[in-house]
Amino acid sequence: MGRHYDTVSFLSDLGLIDESVGVVHAILREAAPHARVIDLTHGIPAYDVRAGSLALARSVGYVPSGVVMAVVDGGERRAIAIEVADGEGVLIGPDNGVLASAVAMAGGAGRCVVLDRPEFHLPSPGSIAPYRDIYAAVAGHLCNGVDLVELGTPVDADALLPGVVPLPRDGEHGGLQTDVLWVDRFGNCQLNIGPDDLEPWGNAEGVRLQITFGEMSDQKIRVAERAASAYGLGAGSIGLVVDPTGMLMLMLERRSAADELCLGPGDQVAVAPLVEGAAVPGVAVPVTLRPSS
């Protein structure tokens, strides 16, 4: 008998248009009525393992001990379960890298199994729906104390597909080539660098840096300012602000940086010290002059 769990934290690319998420809730309610389901998000773009992995990594430090179920692009991938090294929880999902970053942030992998024992799954009248027939069913068994190794064949963690998180690279003029990891619903663009990466050029509020982005044939150069928040930046100003996860975000005051700078997840942004005397394009702001009396 394994440990009983009373929380299932659920993340997926299933969306909320149809009954899929509700069916998972219903299965868990029937199988483990003592367990509470926390919906982290079901708005991960379809098949976007990278986005799912990053969202799960941002969340895992806040979820209670229990089962974490991440179902993103799970149709053709083998189903796996990973117990974190301290035994405080089990992450289940497809073997496509979606779990890797969260497992690392939770302290690393302990026991791992491939969920290949159909007696612990739900029967399907047609093709298998993994979110329903495998993951929801297994989550219920885990909550009820079924030990991990009863649910599948043990596998070495090193045999599982790793996650892929882009790292900043050295750029031109002593700068860094960064990637946009995530765009939140307000249009703020999270980069894959933190404040420590800016130390060689100064990391105090008010330090101005040069950012370069866009296609090679249409590159844009702007100035971004290290700021505590986007409020008070003013029209046309770009802030480099530390977000709640400790990463740097490109932000505009009450406007979408993604829309105005034409940036999205996976786009590259070069960050470099501002060259003294360099002509850096800004944003034109209309000014009305009052006629002199």
User: What pLDDT score was predicted for residue 131?
Assistant: 94
Tokens of 252: 């505009």
Q: For 236-265, what is the mean pLDDT?
A: 93
User: What pLDDT score was predicted for residue 288?
Assistant: 47
User: What pLDDT score was predicted for residue 173?
Assistant: 66
Better-scored residue on pLDDT, 41 or 162: 41
In DSSP notation, the chain reads ------EEEEEES--SSSSHHHHHHHHHHHH-TTPEEEEEES-SPTT-HHHHHHHHHHHTTTSPSEEEEEESS-SSSPEEEEEETTSSEEEEEESSSTTHHHHHHTT-EEEEEE---GGGS---SSS--HIIIIIIHHHHHHHTT--GGGSSEE--GGGSPPP-----EE-GGG-EEEEEEEE-TT--EEES--GGGGGGG--STT-EEEEEES-GGG-EEEEEEE-S-STT--TT-EEEEE-TTS-EEEEBTTB-HHHHHT--TT-EEEEEEPPTT----------PPPPP-
User: What pLDDT score was predicted for residue 30?
Assistant: 97
User: What pLDDT score was predicted for residue 276?
Assistant: 62
Better-scored residue on pLDDT, 94 or 174: 94
Cα angle vertex 129, ends 131, 59, to 5°? 15
Domains and CATH numbers, the chain: 7-159 (3.40.50.10790), 169-273 (2.40.30.90)
pTM value?
A: 0.85
Instruction: Please report, for residues 72, 178, 195, the alpha-carbon distance to residue 168 in angstroms, rounded to integers and kept in the order given.
Output: 25, 5, 13
User: What pLDDT score was predicted for residue 278?
Assistant: 53
* Best mean pLDDT range from 138-142, 209-213, 217-221: 138-142
pLDDT of 220 over the 80 cut: yes
pLDDT in tens, 49-65: 999 999 999 999 999 99
Strands 176-183 and 109-114: unpaired
Q: For 237-242, what is the mean pLDDT?
A: 93
